[in-house]
Amino acid sequence: MKPLADGLDRILGEGAIAVMGEARRLEQSGKRILHFEIGQPDFPTPQHIKQAGIQAIEDGYTGYSVSGGVPEIKQAIQDEIENTRGFRPSQNQILIMPGGKAGIYFTMIGTCIPGDEVIFPDPGFPTYRSLCHYIGVESIPIRLKEENDFRLDPEDIATRINERTKLIILNSPQNPTGSVMTKDEIEAVAKLAEENDCFILSDEIYSKILYDTEFHSVTSADQAKQRSILLDGFSKAYAMTGWRLGYIIGPEPLIEKLVTLTVNAFSCTPEFVQRAGIAALAGSQDRLLEMTQTFRKRRDAIVKGLNTIPGFSCKTPPGAFYAWPNITGTGQSSQDVATLLLHEAGVACLPGTDFGPDGEGYLRFSYASSLETISEAMDCIKKASTRWAG
Ligand SMILES: Cc1ncc(COP(=O)(O)O)c(C=O)c1O
């Protein structure tokens, strides 16, 4: 066989998938595993959304559809953005995609070329780094500091930004730390991007999962017309991970080209899925509110529990559904503690290093698990902690 494209050797996998595979293997051998590794809500998709998808199939929306997304979902998104971000994008600024991840991929390959530099948070969503490797752009990870509650500090961006910087990736509320950037911080980043003429990809996939915190979008500054690209989707807020539905909103010239790329890559996002998405945005938000309230109770329980484990300390995250305990007090590496917890405590979580080198010293727990499971997991971890606490 002739050699494959060299970019393929540079793509990285995702730790969560690997840990889930190992956890399943242990379960098959009879071991009980408590799951905290995967970032997906453990709630079903709300009934009215499922019903809209089923109805759309019944109504025959099962063929090819327009490439950038149907006008009806674009209109629902225009309303949504007007209500939540304070501006109304044009329909030509919106691109419907099969999931938010596709939006990251398209934005990065649509804006960056080898030799460019891309700034992103470390720890951060692994796809950002992986795609930098794949495209051949220089990764500029910015460390999220615990003393800044893991919020990306614009002053740290200022020290690394230069004429080669093409793209800054923001993610607030953030995976894996649950941090939420302040309005001042967001505005400072918008200013830096303008001064240095670079794009900003604002990954806002957790924008609806917030606890007593205000959400600010960097895209409000230029209304996603000049340099900012807003990414949001349905996976997390509406428990629709498997439906594969997300969108980006950006400058019309970029979106126009990306629609053509869509034509070549996957033609369209299934229309019955888009019709379910309309029901999600335009229908009742009660399930979302209930889900967020449940997440808040779990967050409080898991943070409290983690803070009782010898060698662990955990801040209270204001967004998303992840706890990010500092485990340096154990004297062990993140990977060693995560492995020990999986095999001895039967608790599947992720080592912080799955999110970048600056994740060393931390673990990520996705609290998409019941209060009972959280309580049981804390007991199991406490028992296992004799391994490092003596
Ligand atoms: C920060 C972040 N962005 C994007 C995504 C992708 O979401 P999806 O492709 O399911 O819409 C995720 C999923 O875990 C995420 O954590």
In a domain, 389, yes or no: no
Mean pLDDT of the chain: 96
Whole-prediction pTM: 0.97
Query: 173 and 298: one domain?
Result: no
CB-facing half-sphere around the CA of 199: CA atoms within 13 A: 24
Measured in Å, residue 100 CA sits from the centre of ligand 1 at 6
- pLDDT at position 212 is 87
Q: E strands, 123-164, where?
A: 138-143
Query: 190 and 331: one domain?
Result: no
Return the residue whose CA atom lies nearest to atom 11 of ligand 1. Answer: 100
Measured in Å, residue 310 CA sits from the centre of ligand 1 at 32
Query: 26 and 88: one domain?
Result: no
Rounded average pLDDT over 287-294: 96
In a domain, 231, yes or no: yes
Measured in Å, residue 128 CA sits from the centre of ligand 1 at 11
> Is there an atom of ligand 1 within 6 Å of 125 CB?
yes
Query: 232 and 309: one domain?
Result: no
pLDDT at 390 over 80: no
Query: 94 and 213: one domain?
Result: yes
Instruction: Tell me which amino acid residue 347 is.
Output: V
Query: 59 and 188: one domain?
Result: yes
Measured in Å, residue 107 CA sits from the centre of ligand 1 at 14
Q: Which of 248, 282, 316 is the last residue of a domain?
A: 282
Query: 205 and 322: one domain?
Result: no
Which token pair is 385?
């902690």
Q: Which of 282, 306, 331 is the last residue of a domain?
A: 282
Q: What tens digit of pLDDT does each residue of 178-212 get?
A: 999 999 999 999 999 999 999 999 999 999 999 98
Return the residue whose CA atom lies nearest to atom 16 of ligand 1. Answer: 175
Measured in Å, residue 125 CA sits from the centre of ligand 1 at 8
Q: E strands, 242-321, where?
A: 246-249
Query: 243 and 293: one domain?
Result: no
In a domain, 230, yes or no: yes
Query: 29 and 127: one domain?
Result: no
> Is there an atom of ligand 1 within 6 Å of 101 CB?
yes
383 and 345 Cβ atoms separated by less than 8 Å: yes
- pLDDT at position 18 is 87
Q: Which of 267, 282, 297 is the last residue of a domain?
A: 282
Q: How far apart are CA 374 and CA 238, in angstroms?
A: 22
pLDDT at 341 over 80: yes
Q: How far apart are CA 174 and CA 203, in angstroms?
A: 9
Rounded average pLDDT over 170-177: 98
Q: What tens digit of pLDDT does each residue of 19-62 get?
A: 999 999 999 999 999 999 999 999 999 999 999 999 999 999 99
> Is there an atom of ligand 1 within 6 Å of 241 CB?
yes
Which token pair is 113?
């070329």
> Is there an atom of ligand 1 within 6 Å of 69 CB?
no
Query: 214 and 325: one domain?
Result: no
In a domain, 1, yes or no: no
Q: Structural domain of residue 20, as residue ranges?
A: 6-44+286-384
In a domain, 51, yes or no: yes
> Is there an atom of ligand 1 within 6 Å of 366 CB?
no
Return the residue whose CA atom lies nearest to atom 7 of ligand 1. Answer: 100
Position in ligand 1 atom list of the atom nearest CA 233: 11
In a domain, 390, yes or no: no
Q: How far apart are CA 250 and CA 90, in angstroms?
A: 10
Query: 142 and 230: one domain?
Result: yes
> Is there an atom of ligand 1 within 6 Å of 100 CB?
yes
> Is there an atom of ligand 1 within 6 Å of 319 CB?
no
| Residue 80 burial (C-beta neighbours within 10 Å; 0-12, 13-18, 19+) | middle
In a domain, 361, yes or no: yes
Query: 27 and 158: one domain?
Result: no
> Is there an atom of ligand 1 within 6 Å of 172 CB?
no
In a domain, 326, yes or no: yes
CATH number at residue 302: 3.90.1150.10
Q: What tens digit of pLDDT does each residue of 69-81 get?
A: 999 999 999 999 9
pLDDT at 223 over 80: yes
Count of structural domains, the chain: 2
DSSP H/E element including 378:
helix 371-384
In the structure, what pLDDT confidence band is assigned to residue 136 with cuts at 50, 70 and 90?
Answer: very high
